[in-house]
Amino acid sequence: MIEVVRIPALSDNYIWLAHDDASGQTIVVDPAQAEPVLAAAAARGWTIDAIWNTHWHPDHTGGNAAIKDATGCTVIAPSAEAAKIPTADRLVAEGDVVKLGDHAASVLEVPAHTAGHIAYYLPDESIVFVGDTLFAMGCGRLFEGTAEQMFANMQRLAALPGDTTVYCAHEYTQSNGRYALVAEPDNEVLAERMAQVDMMRAQGLPTVPTTIELERATNPFMRAESVEQLAERRAAKDSFKG
């Protein structure tokens, strides 16, 4: 079994620390900062063996250098973004496999938020680390890619088993849900989910990870029926003030 620990960082980031007890190996996904990661690992007696980056943005790579200096870990990053992640030791692309102990993670190319964005999917643990591609009830902004790419990403992730746990990198659920209610006002499952999200956030509780099944039912971007509809929804969310 892999134990995954949520580490809040910056204003709304989540860094994921994943540990395989059988091998004793530990990886960190998208470290925005080093200090909270090193503290969380030390508190558990874990040694960080690798960093898995999903994309180059500083709020996902900002802790790379300090963690690498402190632990000697290997930084694994998308090959298409090598020039923007100078700390990378190993570059990976679609179809490559990275390991946490005996657990194999397949690299999935999911560009759109950034040109070389990747995800890490561990089928034997039903886990996917998606960075800023998929959020609870949302998707990443199209900074370096297209609606066509994001639509393909949503379809690809939706095809994963429904019980797959989705570890995204931000606490955007409440704001995403407010837009989702506008996009799909008759979605009763969505309305029920938002009531729960509002209650959780009022108590200061995190709302991620999520699951593929839950996103299929409530995420207006995963539920978009065409590229055009996804593009319309993404543009509307970009300017949404609710």
Q: Which residues make up each annotated binding site for Zn(2+)?
A: 55, 57, 59-60, 113, 132, 170
- Scan for tokens 């999935």, then name that residue: 108
Asked if 132 is an active-site residue, the reply is: yes
Asked if 170 is an active-site residue, the reply is: yes
Q: 106 has which bridge partners?
A: 97, 121
Q: State the catalytic residue, choosing from 20, 30, 96, 113.
A: 113
Asked if 103 is an active-site residue, the reply is: no
Q: State the catalytic residue, choosing from 20, 30, 96, 132.
A: 132
Q: State the catalytic residue, choosing from 20, 30, 49, 59.
A: 59
Rg, Å, the chain Cα set: 17
Asked if 124 is an active-site residue, the reply is: no
Q: State the catalytic residue, choosing from 19, 20, 49, 57.
A: 57
Residue numbers in the known binding site are: 55, 57, 59-60, 113, 132, 170
Q: Using N-to-C axis directions, what is the helix angle for 227-238 and 173-183, rounded to 10°?
A: 120
Q: State the catalytic residue, choosing from 20, 30, 55, 96.
A: 55
Asked if 59 is an active-site residue, the reply is: yes
Asked if 117 is an active-site residue, the reply is: no
Q: State the catalytic residue, choosing from 60, 96, 103, 117.
A: 60
Determine the Cα–Cα distance for residues 99 and 23; give it in Å rounded to an integer: 11
Among all residues, which ones are annotated catalytic?
Answer: 55, 57, 59-60, 113, 132, 170
